[in-house]
């Protein structure tokens, strides 16, 4: 009888510990931000080298082969008669905040800051991508272009709020879901990730 009681007590302890661990994991999953919408973290910018390159002319996928969930947030842009969706989660890390691209032969740069949730799209002239790179953080994301730092939100020089702005024009964009963007632009393509990964064209 004593052995049975001791065994029962041990079983209760094991079950109690397992239940506590389950509660901890459930709480962690419940409080975790959705994929691509993690809690803003300024340390994302700390130690960012001045020479951090941008993503240039990344691989894009047709609407049919882009493996995106219908509710996936995207940054939609139309330029030169072409539509392109940029998966917002692909801009999560500071070194991925700037994408220099060509859409419909229009050179444009899509920028997104995970800390301020600020998105800006700049366009220029010519036939080659703009040369803009991540420039760090100073009460907002900075962009490095033409040898100078500019504020992402305003396009003004970081060291002179009244100085001449970026010599690029801003163009309209739309932050929406993949399903809504694709419904409005059936011929769109999509930028999914700055890194090699399991997402591949069919």
Q: What is the mean pLDDT of residues 35-45?
A: 47
Asked whether the predicted pLDDT for residue 198 surpasses 50, the reply is no
Q: What mean pLDDT value characterizes the chain? A: 81
The percentage of the chain sitting over the pLDDT mark of 70, rounded to a whole number, equals 71
pLDDT, one tens digit per residue, over 67-106 is 999 999 999 999 999 999 999 999 998 889 999 999 999 9
> What pLDDT is recorded for position 53?
87
> What pLDDT is recorded for position 52?
81
Q: In whole angstroms, give the CA distance from residue 49 to residue 51.
A: 5
Residues 6+ apart with CB under 8 A from 39: 33
Phi/psi of residue 171, nearest 5 degrees: -125, 155
Strand order in the sheet with 98-103: 55-56, 98-103, 106-112, 119-123, 169-170
Domain ranges of the chain: 1-32, 42-191
């Amino acid at each position: 009888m004593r052995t049975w009681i001791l065994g029962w007590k041990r079983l209760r302890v094991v079950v109690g510990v397992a239940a506590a661990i389950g509660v901890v994991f459930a709480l962690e999953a419940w409080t975790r931000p959705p994929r691509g919408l993690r809690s803003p973290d300024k340390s994302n910018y700390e130690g960012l080298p001045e020479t951090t390159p941008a993503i240039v002319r990344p691989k894009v996928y047709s609407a049919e082969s882009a493996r995106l969930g219908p509710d996936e947030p995207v940054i939609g842009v139309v330029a030169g008669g072409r539509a392109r969706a940029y998966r917002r989660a692909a801009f999560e890390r500071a070194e991925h905040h700037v994408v220099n691209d060509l859409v419909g032969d229009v050179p444009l740069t899509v920028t997104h800051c995970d800390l301020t949730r600020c998105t800006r799209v700049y366009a220029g002239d010519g036939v080659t991508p703009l040369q803009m790179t991540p420039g760090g953080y100073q009460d907002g994301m900075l962009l490095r272009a033409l040898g100078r730092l500019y504020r992402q939100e305003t396009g003004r020089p970081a060291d002179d709020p009244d100085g001449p702005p970026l010599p690029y024009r801003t163009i309209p964009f739309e932050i929406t879901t993949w399903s809504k963007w694709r419904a409005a632009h059936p011929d769109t393509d999509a930028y999914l990730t700055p890194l090699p990964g399991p997402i591949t064209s069919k």
